Amino acid sequence: MALSLLYLLIISLSFSNLPSSSSSSSSSSDNNNNNNNVNNAAKTFIVQVQPSSKPSIFPTHQDWYSSSLSSLSSDKATAPTVLHTYSTVFHGFSAKLSPSQAQTLQSLDHVTTIIPEQVRQLHTTRSPEFLGLRSTDAAGTLLRESDFGSDLVIGVIDTGIWPERKSFHDRDLGPTPSKWKGQCVAGKDFPATTCNRKLIGARFFSAGFESTNGKMNETTEYRSPRDSDGHGTHTASIAAGRYVFPASTLGYAKGVAAGMAPKARLAAYKVCWSAGCYDSDILAAFDAAVADGCDVVSLSVGGVVVPYHLDAIAIGAYGASDAGVFVSASAGNGGPGGLTVTNVAPWVTTVGAGTIDRDFPADVKLGNGRIIPGMSIYSGPGLAPGRMYPLVYAGGVGGDGYSSSLCLEGSLNQVKGKIVVCDRGINSRAAKGDVVKKAGGVGMILANGVFDGEGLVADCHVLPATAVAASTGDEIRRYIAASKSKSPATATIVFKGTRIRVQPAPVVASFSARGPNPESPEVLKPDVIAPGLNILAAWPDKVGPSGVASDKRNTEFNILSGTSMACPHVSGLAALLKAAHPDWSPAAIRSALMTTAYTVDNRGETMLDESSGNTSSVMDFGAGHVHPQKAMDPGLVYDIVSYDYVDFLCNSNYTTKNIQVVTRKFANCNGAKRAGHSGNLNYPSLSVVFQQYGKHKMSTHFIRTVTNVGTPNSVYQVTVKPAAGMTVTVEPEKLAFRRVGQKLSFLVRVQALAVKLSPGSTSVKGGSIVWSDGKHTVTSPLVVTMQQPL
């Protein structure tokens, strides 16, 4: 909530009254002029209107919007112009406006709200097998029952796509689904004939980006759906890539590459450019994806958490969900700290990242004989076998200790012929190796910082390099510092290729963003985790696997890590579930994924947190790691209809106007608030925040309704697993269903004893409520957060 209040303060300042020129004194005129220039700086706003208010004189809404903008300037040539119009998930347009022009628009009766644009950033194989999805599976399995996702359409909002990759071939696919209304928009190096029966749609949206940054540089970016970054190609093939053999990255991870839903159709919506992903473009992509006929929207993009009525992604995702489209989004890479999760709206399925049982060891051997475990992908000219190389810490061999410690561009000297230890931070991990290489270094050891913890990410490096954990990075620095001039520090790096059947797995990835939910603590986020560390997927030409400009290597597949990679796993699984159960709503699909998720690794123990090596918690993994096969037959689902979200927003103290901005629905909040509190949203998880205020005992209740999607005449018995200090009761303790589709409700009462906390601190306790009929096990996390006010 603190982030939300800060954002509201920023918004209020951006709309503050301009200084009066008549009251300015001569001594302060320069400062006032500078302030005027800053306050008058134009930026992009998203404008919501009441579509029914359009005067009949205007043939289209576009004409009406253009006329409204023309009225803001006496000089028609300099009047603002429409960047995008929205008509499916949102009604309105976007335009670049000065604050005074925005204020004028806001005062018009037909304008509901004006939302300042945010810039979002990208959240940057064996995973199908790890998830239990095999092409040889027998009848009755998820892949077979869904026909591998055939005829379902996944819309990927990202950096575009490289359509020539084998992952996107259309061999043996049927005709484009008759419901499809999308287009294959032509552009630079992307003729309209580029699409096929696999990639059935492709669009690009750049008006928001160019409004802020000027005309794009078409020597480095494509004005078309073609991908010049690689991220979009990678995520699209994770969601729905075809089977490709052989597949590998520089000889690593050899095997069959496949997406989650190999026969699902793809539509690429390019919104991310060199400077980021702009809200006005993202909202336009949502609008198009729903109108085109997508069944699933996958979004591996995120930014600062703000209230939902100021969040273009939340607004677009609600419109999609309201139309029956499942939306999955990455949780963000801000972990392992708490309150870092993004894309937290309850109508979005928020996905964190876990490891799979495969890694790429590359160990450091020190001159003192110590072996330090590391991780890397490198196949170029290597270090001489058996030879030890001089080892230096970058912070001690540069003019500026801080810049050189991070191996920033131009910061290194005296490293020729040496292995250099670089700290993580500021520039990309692979870029640090490029800096070392340019300075004459022969290798790099990339050391995690304290915040990065013990988690290791394998990168495609441009020189022999490996990543080591924070604790072992400290050990290497101590070894270097203790070495004398007569016996200088030395090291080498030993690359060990690909290792599979690693234990433990899955592990919550160190970078994966964590709860609690900053905007709605009553809704547990992330919802689930999925494979997101060292994931093999398709990659474009003309982009080196390291992402460094000097890297001219070509590879058909690349290995990347991030919640960006976890999100399309869930997008593809959602397509499979929708194909197997066409009548399931987006909320039912999310429920199936959550209530069947698991929290135990391949050793039979609770999943670990990669950043610390300790046991992970519900704030790290949400409901747990997805289990596709069990999700196909969950037994019961917690379903939600659109007006349930309206009631949730009412109970979250959103105003009627702000609820209308998000939902385009009128909210009778007096009636909603009589129905309970925001925790009564029919969500598969249960979360409550208790403010202690000197109380010894606190209590609340939840009402939940489950729908039988299993078998008729089934009886479910509840098992409560409360955490220490919690008393939980469920009424009734049995649910007897006579038919499939029947709904039954139950009441959960929670009591918690106060705990000793310092002012401003919190304590999180996790338990669960499990319903079982002997065949199905339906698990709901129960989270109690105790807060001690300041």
| Residue 409, pLDDT above cutoff 70 | yes
- pLDDT tens column, 410-456: 889 889 999 999 999 889 999 999 999 999 999 999 999 988 889 89
- Would 20 be classed as within a structural domain? no
**Do 273 and 339 belong together in one domain?**
yes
- pLDDT tens column, 184-219: 999 999 999 999 999 999 999 999 999 999 999 999
Give the active site residues.
158, 231, 564
Q: How confident is the model at residue 164 (pLDDT cuts 50, 70, 90)?
A: very high
Token code pair at residue 600: 């135990």
- Average pLDDT of the residues in 461-484: 94
| Residue 676, pLDDT above cutoff 90 | no
**Do 255 and 165 belong together in one domain?**
yes
**Do 519 and 627 belong together in one domain?**
yes
Q: What's residue 627's pLDDT?
A: 96
Between strands 557-560 and 535-538, the pairing is: antiparallel
Strand partners of residue 777: 772
Q: What's residue 37's pLDDT?
A: 45
| Residue 672, pLDDT above cutoff 80 | no
Q: With contact defined as beta carbons under 8 Å apart, do 755 and 691 qualify?
A: no
Q: What's residue 77's pLDDT?
A: 77
Q: How confident is the model at residue 40 (pLDDT cuts 50, 70, 90)?
A: low
Look up the CATH number of the domain holding residue 107: 3.30.70
**Do 348 and 404 belong together in one domain?**
no
Helix (H, G, I), strand (E, B) or coil at 92: strand
Q: What's residue 675's pLDDT?
A: 58
- Average pLDDT of the residues in 518-523: 96
- Would 727 be classed as within a structural domain? yes
Q: What's residue 13's pLDDT?
A: 28
Which of these, 133, 180, 130, lies nearest to 152 by C-alpha position? 180
- Would 645 be classed as within a structural domain? no
Q: How confident is the model at residue 33 (pLDDT cuts 50, 70, 90)?
A: very low
**Do 55 and 153 belong together in one domain?**
no
At a CB cut-off of 8 Å and minimum separation 6, what does 686 contact?
A: 524, 679, 702, 704, 748, 750, 769, 780, 781, 782, 783
Asked which of 116, 143, 173 is the last residue of a domain, the reply is: 116
- Average pLDDT of the residues in 724-741: 96
Q: What's residue 374's pLDDT?
A: 97
Which of these ranges, 13-22, 142-151, 749-758, has the smallest mean pLDDT?
A: 13-22
**Do 190 and 101 belong together in one domain?**
no
Q: What's residue 135's pLDDT?
A: 56
**Do 527 and 608 belong together in one domain?**
yes
**Do 620 and 707 belong together in one domain?**
no
Q: What's residue 128's pLDDT?
A: 63
Per the prediction, the chain carries an average pLDDT of: 90
- pLDDT tens column, 125-150: 455 666 766 655 556 677 676 677 67
Q: With contact defined as beta carbons under 8 Å apart, do 120 and 282 qualify?
A: yes
- pLDDT tens column, 263-321: 999 999 999 999 999 999 999 999 999 999 999 999 999 999 999 999 999 999 999 99
Which of these, 369, 604, 373, lies nearest to 472 by C-alpha position? 373
- Would 122 be classed as within a structural domain? no
Look up the CATH number of the domain holding residue 605: 3.40.50.200
Q: With contact defined as beta carbons under 8 Å apart, do 427 and 455 qualify?
A: no
Token code pair at residue 85: 């119009």
Strand partners of residue 82: 95
Which of these ranges, 380-384, 627-631, 675-679, 682-686, has the smallest mean pLDDT?
A: 675-679
- Would 414 be classed as within a structural domain? yes
**Do 419 and 449 belong together in one domain?**
yes
Rounded Cα–Cα distance for residues 167 and 423 (Å): 36
**Do 334 and 475 belong together in one domain?**
no
Element housing 119 (H / E):
strand 119-122
Rounded Cα–Cα distance for residues 730 and 737 (Å): 17
Rounded Cα–Cα distance for residues 639 and 591 (Å): 7
- pLDDT tens column, 591-612: 999 999 999 999 999 999 999 9
| Residue 399, pLDDT above cutoff 80 | no
Q: What's residue 79's pLDDT?
A: 87
Q: What's residue 136's pLDDT?
A: 55
Look up the CATH number of the domain holding residue 686: 2.60.40.2310
Q: How many CA atoms lie within 13 A of 577 on its CB side?
A: 31
Rounded Cα–Cα distance for residues 130 and 155 (Å): 24
The DSSP call for residue 526 is: S
Look up the CATH number of the domain holding residue 458: 3.50.30.30
Asked which of 116, 142, 172 is the last residue of a domain, the reply is: 116
Domain total of the chain: 4
Rounded Cα–Cα distance for residues 707 and 753 (Å): 33
- 579 lies in which domain range? 127-357+506-631
**Do 157 and 289 belong together in one domain?**
yes
- Would 672 be classed as within a structural domain? no
Percent of the chain with pLDDT over 90: 80
Q: How confident is the model at residue 398 (pLDDT cuts 50, 70, 90)?
A: low
Cα→Cα distances 162→126, 229, 270, 780, Å: 22, 10, 11, 40
Q: What's residue 5's pLDDT?
A: 35
- Would 668 be classed as within a structural domain? no
Asked which of 86, 116, 146 is the last residue of a domain, the reply is: 116
**Do 181 and 245 belong together in one domain?**
yes
| Residue 24, pLDDT above cutoff 70 | no
Percent of the chain with pLDDT over 70: 91
Token code pair at residue 163: 């359509």
Dump the DSSP string for 641-676: -HHHHHHHHHHTT--HHHHHHHHSS---HHHHHHT-
∠ Cα 571 573 579 (to 5°): 105
- Would 34 be classed as within a structural domain? no
| Residue 237, pLDDT above cutoff 50 | yes
Q: What's residue 132's pLDDT?
A: 67
